[in-house]
Chain A
């Protein structure tokens, strides 16, 4: 790209930037278009030799088949995924907030050791150790249960670290004022500190919701019975099967993406903030 350092050149480089942005945007949007197009096609159209921009006639049979699938009914899978995401996001965020507040603001001898115990777990990569986690959860009877899907993921050491950082900066004067009003440690946390950290809670909560909705390895390991498949596991099972009802599979994918696309567009501000907070890990 040539950029000439004159007024006209600067205009030219601006146009060039927009042109480049549009050119890059195409491959980023293409998969979304394919997803929608394919969900509205017939199996024959999807296997055709010729490229086709749009189905000859809109076919909604895929959506009917997806919910009608007797081995992996989409309704059940959506229910499981919803339970996992709706429970995990607020609970894991709240637990991290509680622990983060305690190690930041309550001065007891145990604060330091507890904090070290928590952050030491950050050294262990989560996915790589799925076998040991499976052994423990399995021994507790967690295979093919909703709690087995949810509970092991509720304890996020890194979120504790972020909340600790936030509460360390929480003004002492507010805490003192609460004390004067007769609040104890729990009262200060619940009435003053927790409401003040709503922004951080929203950012981490939305990220957790997305992560849990899209999680694959752990749900695959723990939800072995079709009744406990999340929507990701159900789709994967169909994708890796011998015979594939393609319109139904693409329809399932459309249905599974819609809730997240909505969350994404509505809560993007919080997501961006969450990403910025969690990315500054190194």
Chain B
């Protein structure tokens, strides 16, 4: 045994063996539920899924009809799957910087408030209590519905604009405004909280020193102290945002359930909605499993690339 601590004396071998057995028993009792649960719902699931991804499995989850890489080929040659990948990349490229900037901006703003800080923090964070389904309902039927009395169209009417169809058409592609704002509203408060926590950990002396050195403008203080000191938080936030964006499902499913009317163009399905359709509607579990691994691979690669980039940036600085 390599790890031994000085708490128990080893004078009597019998007592020590009993203590070891007690430790083992306690360890097994405390870890068994977690180990068994993760084994069944993660390890067995991933193993079975991997085998299914090499199997012909329509309407069945039984293994046996091996087809090699056929399911992966089916997916990668399906234009709708490729569209779904393109769509999620575009979505990620839009939503991540927007959420990042707004969350950081709100954190700086809330931090400047003396009185009422808690009130505004709660206000910006409150949407986190709302589900994607409820938010999609509000966005689809009230904020951005196609009728003239929706909020967006009422505002458009004030400047003489005709009612806009928003999610009911791809031309113009204003459905992006709906998709992006709903997620922005739901998630920005959470990341604001993370930035706020980071800001409050920055030592006040840094600002004092900078002011003595003459870097007095708010913008300079932000650029030379606040933002660099938030480096770790920023890296974590971008990582969490990217992983979440690649797995987007709820708002796409609920806002665009009938798809986007009027081809050509994407049919409004990100990868997870596409896979839901393949696995749960068409019951093709082989292709569905293959898709799960492709999306997982994509997320892992993007995450690793990002860590690489961040690592390089650190060496530059």
Assess A261 versus B129: contact at CB under 8 Å? Given A216-B250, A275-B194.
yes
Which of A29, A34, A101, A246 has the most chain B CB atoms inside 10 A of its CB?
Answer: A34
Tell me whether A240 and B254 are in contact in the complex, defined as CB-CB below 8 angstroms, given that A129-B46, A131-B288, A179-B7 are known contacts.
yes
Q: Do B126 and A28 touch across chains, with their CB atoms under 8 A apart? A: yes
Cβ-neighbour of B22 out of A127, A130, A139, A185 (below 8 A): A185
Interface residues on B, range: 35 or more
For residue B3, CB closer than 8 A to chain A, the reply is yes
- How does the 8 Å CB contact mask read for A251-282 relative to B, with 1 for contact and 0 for none? 00100110011011100100110011001111
Cβ of A243 within 8 Å of any chain B Cβ, yes or no, is no
Are A124 and B42 interface neighbours, CB within 8 A?
yes
Q: How far is the CA of A133 from the CA of B250 in the complex (A)?
A: 18
Nearest-CB residue, chain B, relative to A175: B7
Residue of B nearest to A97 (CB): B30
A159→B244 CA distance, assembly (Å): 18
Q: Is A114 an interface residue (CB 8 A)?
A: yes
**Pairwise interchain contact A107-B138, C-beta atoms closer than 8 A:** no
Is there an interface contact between B124 and A28, defined as CB atoms closer than 8 Å? yes
Chain B residues near A198 (CB-CB < 8 A): none
Q: Is the CB of A5 within 8 A of B249?
A: no
Q: Is B90 an interface residue (CB 8 A)?
A: no
Nearest B residue to A210 via CB reads B129
B61 and A108: CB pair below 8 A? no
Total cross-chain contacts (CB, 8 A):
301
Q: Which of A30-88 contact B (CB under 8 A)?
A: 30-32, 34-35, 38, 46-52
Residues of chain B with a CB closer than 8 A to A160's CB: 34
* Complex CA distance for A154 and B29, rounded to whole angstroms: 17
B:122-160 near A, CB below 8 Å: 122-143, 147-149, 151, 154
Q: How far is the CA of A281 from the CA of B138 in the complex (A)?
A: 32
Contact A257 B30 (CB under 8 A): no
Which residues in A have their C-beta under 8 angstroms from that of B243?
125
Q: Could you tell me if B129 and A217 are in contact, using CB atoms closer than 8 angstroms?
A: no
Interface 0/1 of A169-197, CB less than 8 Å to B: 00010011001000011100100000000
Task: Report Cα–Cα, A257/B139, bound state, in Å.
Answer: 16
Contact bitstring B266-301, A, C-beta under 8 A = 1, else 0: 000001100110011000010011011001100110
CB of A106 within 8 A of CB of B239, answer no
Given A124-B42, A131-B289, A136-B41, CB of A25 within 8 Å of CB of B120: yes
Other-chain contact of A103, B5, B31, B122, B240 (Cβ < 8 Å): B31
Residues of A within 8 A of B (CB): 3, 5, 13-14, 17-18, 20-21, 24-25, 27-32, 34-35, 38, 46-52, 95-96, 98-99, 101-103, 106-111, 114, 117-118, 121, 123-139, 151-152, 154-155, 157, 160, 172, 175-176, 179, 184-186, 189, 210, 213-214, 216-217, 220-221, 232, 235-236, 239-240, 244, 246, 249-250, 253, 256-257, 260-261, 263-265, 268, 271-272, 275-276, 279-282
Q: A17-B112, A186-B26 are in contact. List 4 more A-B contacts (CB 8 A).
A: A5-B217, A35-B134, A121-B42, A216-B133
Could you list 30 examples of A-B contacts with CB < 8 Å? A17-B109, A18-B116, A21-B109, A25-B124, A28-B189, A31-B138, A34-B138, A35-B134, A35-B138, A38-B142, A47-B147, A48-B147, A102-B26, A103-B31, A107-B4, A125-B296, A131-B279, A136-B48, A139-B61, A176-B7, A185-B22, A220-B276, A232-B131, A239-B141, A249-B141, A250-B141, A253-B134, A260-B129, A279-B194, A282-B236
Q: Which residues does B use to contact A, with CB under 8 Å?
A: 1, 3-5, 7, 20, 22-24, 26-27, 29-31, 33-35, 37-38, 40-46, 48-50, 52, 61, 106, 109-110, 112-114, 116, 120, 122-143, 147-149, 151, 154, 185, 189-191, 193-194, 197, 216-218, 232-233, 235-237, 239-240, 243, 246-247, 249-250, 253-254, 257-258, 271-272, 275-276, 279-280, 285, 288-289, 291-292, 295-296, 299-300
